Amino acid sequence: MDVKSSRVGSPLPPLQKTALRIYSMRFCPYAQRTRLVLAHKNIPYETVNIDLSSKPSWFFEKNPLGTVPVLEKGDKIIYESTATCEWLDDVYPHNRLTPSDPYIKARDRMILEYYGKITGLFYGKLRKDDTLEEGIQELQTRYQFFEDELARREGPLFGGEQPAMVDFYIWPHFERLPIVARKDQRIAVNVTSFPRLARWYSAMYKVPAIKAMEVDPDTQEYFLKTVVAGAPDFDYGL
Ligand SMILES: N[C@@H](CCC(=O)N[C@@H](CS)C(=O)NCC(=O)O)C(=O)O
């Protein structure tokens, strides 16, 4: 994961026929989903990080949208994080992450859709001082949804004792929330108001794939600051 980013002018590293490659960015929450699935399944892969401020032209041949993550294996290319994760779960079916029960599968999809409300706050109201208060209030409503959904399940994770795909899908932004909460502690998941969500949080930190892919909070915070300043430091610490 910790390889310097390719940028405009960088040559495309040659890909071996049988190798699995991820085009990624070290601090991208969407690429983290894919890396979590790769780690959970112990799938060997190589990483090509992309400087998203200076994308090499060959990257658009991999993904015309110009976003990471992208997976490449032989002549197959997959982009969009959920598509990459589902493909991995189908092609490498051990440690299965997608629930087989159609109803749970549907509810997991609902959770994922609803989760967009939290990421919306993360990139919007919680970032700006004049909308922070409104964002914090709204966040409590959003947390309640997850609390209620966890109450329908055995827990501690949405997948039970083991993570399901939806746990990995929603984790990356939750991992970053404590950093946002440094601004105002009410952003953090309050254990009294949301005991099940707080339990989910602690249980997720014990999942080996989560630990393997964790980026320390100070590094996350530094990176976010460089993004806000308009000069993301994709190779920070390398
Ligand atoms: N819907 C996409 C979102 C991916 C995404 O937004 N990735 C960001 C980095 S975190 C990116 O590549 N941004 C570059 C750009 O939009 O030009 C997915 O789930 O894969």
Q: Whose CA is nearest to atom 15 of ligand 1?
A: 67
Q: What is the pLDDT of residues 175-188, one digit of tens each?
A: 998 898 998 999 99
20-95+218-228: CATH architecture: 3-Layer(aba) Sandwich (3.40)
Ligand 1 atom with minimal separation from the 52 CA: 14
Ligand 1 site, residue 30, Cβ cutoff 6 A: yes
| Distance, CA of 238 to CA of 231 (rounded, Å) | 16
Ligand 1 site, residue 28, Cβ cutoff 6 A: yes
**Catalytic residue IDs:** 28
Please tell me the distance between residue 153's alpha carbon and the centre of ligand 1 in angstroms. Answer: 31
Domain boundaries for CATH 1.20.1050.10 within the chain: 102-206
Cα distances from 181 to residues 19, 35, 60, 90, 132, in angstroms, run: 40, 25, 36, 36, 11
Domain boundaries for CATH 3.40.30.10 within the chain: 20-95+218-228
Domain 102-206 has CATH 1.10.40.50: no
Please, which pLDDT band fits residue 1 given cuts at 50, 70 and 90?
confident
Q: What is the pLDDT of residues 128-176, one digit of tens each?
A: 899 999 999 999 999 999 999 999 999 899 999 999 999 999 999 999 9
φ, ψ (nearest 5 deg) of residue 157: -95, 170
First to last CA, the chain: 11
Please, which pLDDT band fits residue 229 given cuts at 50, 70 and 90?
very high
Q: What is the pLDDT of residues 104-114, one digit of tens each?
A: 999 999 999 99
